[in-house]
Amino acid sequence: MLPSKIFAKEYIYEVGGTNTSADANTIEYPDGSKFIVYHGEYAAWKDNKGDYGREKCIGYVLVNKDKSADVHFRCIASNQNGDTFWTTRNRKSVVEEGGGGINTYTAGTGKYKKMVGIKCPYGVQYHEDIVWYTHKCKLN
C-alpha cells in the first residue's frame, strides 16, 4: 500500500487581467532602478474546483539596476458565492516581466478558512498590459 501523501490533492488557481500604467505610481532613479506601486483593478479568476470570481491586488515592484525584481503584493478575492480570501505574494526574479514566487493564504471566510497558512508556488508573466498568473497548492 502506498502512503496517502502521494495522493495529495492539487489546487490550481488561475488569473488573467490587465495591468496598465494607469494602475501604477512609479519613481525612477538615475541608475535605471524603479519603485512601482500598483493599486490594481479587479481581475477574473477560476480554479480547478469549479469556483470563479474576482480578485484585486495592491503591491509594489522594486526593479533593480540589473533589471531583477523584488515583488510584494497583497490580494483579496471572492468567489461566485461570496466566500472571500486574502493572500500575500512575494517573488524575487531575474527579470521584471515575470517569474516565480510564493502565494500565502492569510485569511478566509466560508470554504477558504481551511486554506489559511497554505503556501503555494506561483508563476506570473506580463506581456504589454496583460498579466497571467497561476499557483498550484498541495492539499492534504
Mean pLDDT of 110-138: 92
Does this model's pTM top 0.85?
Answer: yes
Mean pLDDT of 112-128: 92
pLDDT > 90: what percent of the chain? 70
Q: How far, in Å, CA of 91 to CA of 70, rounded?
A: 6
Mean pLDDT of 90-112: 92
Report yes or no: 109 and 83 within 8 Å, Cβ to Cβ: yes
Give the pLDDT score at 1. 43
Look at the chain and report how many structural domains it folds into.
Answer: 1
138 assigned to some structural domain: no
Sign of the dihedral through C-alpha 50, 51, 52, 56: negative
For the chain, the average pLDDT equals 89
- 54-98 pLDDT, tens digit per residue, is 999 999 999 999 999 999 999 999 999 999 999 999 999 887 778
The distance from CA 111 to its chain's CA centroid, rounded to whole angstroms, is 19
Give the pLDDT score at 122. 95
132 assigned to some structural domain: no
95 assigned to some structural domain: yes
Q: 80 lies in which domain range?
A: 4-120
